[in-house]
Amino acid sequence: MIYQKLLDFPENFLWGASTSAYQVEGGWDADGKSPSIIDMYEHPAGYADFTVASDHYHRYKEDIALFARMGLKAYRFSIAWTRILPRGTGEVNQAGVEHYRDVIRTCKQYGIEPVVTMYHFDLPWCLEQQGGWTSRATIDAFEAYARVLFAEFGSDVKYWLTINEQNTMILHPGAIGLPKGGVLPDRKTLYQMNHHLMLAQARVMKLCHALCPQAKIGPALNLTAMYPVTCRPEDAIAAHNWEVLRCWNFADVPVFGWYHPLAVRYLEDRGLMPDILPGDCETLAGANPDFIAMNYYSTATIAASHGDASDVSARAGDQQIMLGEQGVYRAAENPYVGKTKYGWVIDPTGFRYTLRKVCERYHLPILITENGIGAPDVLEADDRIHDDYRIEFYKQHLHALREAITDGVQMLGYCPWSALDVVSTHQGYAKRYGFIYVDRGEEEGASLRRIPKDSFAWYKQVIAENGKNL
């Protein structure tokens, strides 16, 4: 659709930016925090680990002051479960509670809306040792953790995100790190874990509505539209297969209370269907998220499966993400999109397309909780970072977002990844996302000084003009 006039961004649009606890905080064992699975995983050699990261745990006041200088209206961050409940459940660590209370208070002093992720990949290690998400006890533990969060912060936090990228955790478990020894759960186990995560999420959404009726809560998923590589009907079927299995199956459960019918048939056919106990269907029903939180980076282009092992290939530049599945789909190239230095597809129009699909499917407002470009930013001799590629990326994606708003998609806000440089999941500080540069490399010992990048000034202007002059 080409419009005569694009609609403006809404007046109260949440212009924000995002981080996650383990990627930015450091202080990995400070003030009573216990290790999470991330702390205990194998770490890629030669890259920064998560022990100090960007030291946000100790520098959050300085960082939030910088966010305010940039004009942010929202800050999406995650709470480390291991700071609140070092044993995974049971006794509350007051130091952890006080830390996040002050993070929230500091945001509010600057008029920044805290958007809180409850769980961003960092399950307490002690729970993992007892079976982690394969155990139903972890569902109870997550609910107990959420109860503490709602009791302590419920009156100050309006936007809650349950679980970050459950679909990444289940479909690409190696993407968040490898357990020591490198053995990942098999697929049947992963779908059982997925079911338990779904139950935990549904219970927590219901709890939120009961305890904090003024708050809004939603799942945070990595959503992406798929293109068939040609108009051959088999390619279209394959694209739909993967769109359902990668995206809609994960969003349908919280919204509609049950798995997507195609996914059910796939799971049954492949012997992957999880054990569903009496009462589970009732638990999943009626969780009623208030919005969908969406992380968007790329689209994918899909061809029909050849039906053999050649369907599976590593995503360009990323050995941790395997794409393709025998009899389901295979990954194809798209000549009409760009790519980052790390091989990730750049597709602003695909952003608009994905937003339209999410809107059409769920009829819920959407909050963008991640979007961004990873790049090897360079601190120049003039003490500046000229990240014009990032500005261009955001310009195009915000234009597409405005087109989506004009298409009728109801948007709550835009919190790109990331507010400041964080440790990337596999490439340390070699690959950066922030509006604010953190002076450090892969080794510890650098100054950790904060330096606004060129994109900082650009985003500040965009926010000040409410996106009118992109």
- Shortest Cβ contact with ligand BG6: which residue? 424
CB of 321 to ligand BG6, least distance (A): 9
Greatest alpha-carbon span in the chain: 65
The minimum distance between CB 44 and ligand BG6, in angstroms, equals: 11
Would you give the DSSP letter of residue 304? -
Smallest gap from residue 154 Cβ to ligand BG6 (A): 24
d(C-alpha 258, C-alpha 262), whole Å: 12
Active-site pick, 25, 128, 152, 165:
165
C-alpha of 86 from chain center = 23
Residue number, 34 or 298, with CB nearest to ligand BG6: 298
Can you spell out the DSSP letters for 216-282?
A: EEEEEEE---EEESSS-HHHHHHHHHHHIIIIIHHHHHHHHSS--HHHHHHHHHTT-PPP--TTHHH
Q: How far apart, in Å, do the first and last CA atoms of the chain sit? A: 19
Residue 424 CB, nearest approach to ligand BG6 (Å): 3
Burial class (CB in 10 A: 0-12, 13-18, 19+), 62: exposed
Nearer to ligand BG6, 267 or 423 (CB): 423
- Is the CB of 168 or the CB of 299 nearer to ligand BG6? 168
- The residue (of 111 and 317) whose beta carbon lies closer to ligand BG6 is 317
- Sorted by sequence, the CB contacts under 8 Å of residue 409 that are 6+ apart come out as 355, 356, 358, 359, 366
Minimum separation from the CB atom of position 318 to ligand BG6 (A): 8
Distance CA 82, CA 30 (A): 11
Is 123 or 303 the residue whose CB approaches ligand BG6 more closely? Answer: 123
Q: Is 370 a catalytic residue?
A: yes
- Catalytic annotation on 25? no
Given the residues 113, 128, 370, 403, select the one marked as catalytic. 370
Q: Which is nearer to ligand BG6, 370 or 377 (CB)?
A: 370
Q: Are 297 and 394 in contact (CB under 8 A)?
A: no
In one-letter notation, the amino acid at residue 259 is Y
Judge whether 289 and 205 are in contact, CB under 8 Å: yes
Cβ contacts of residue 142 below 8 Å, gap of 6+? 118, 119, 200, 203, 204
DSSP letters of 359-373? HHHH---EEEEE---
| Residues near ligand BG6, by CB under 6 A | 20, 23, 164-165, 168, 222, 295, 370, 374, 417, 424-426, 431
| Strands 366-370 and 292-295, bridge-based pairing | parallel
CB of 174 to ligand BG6, least distance (A): 11
Residues acting as catalytic residues: 165, 370
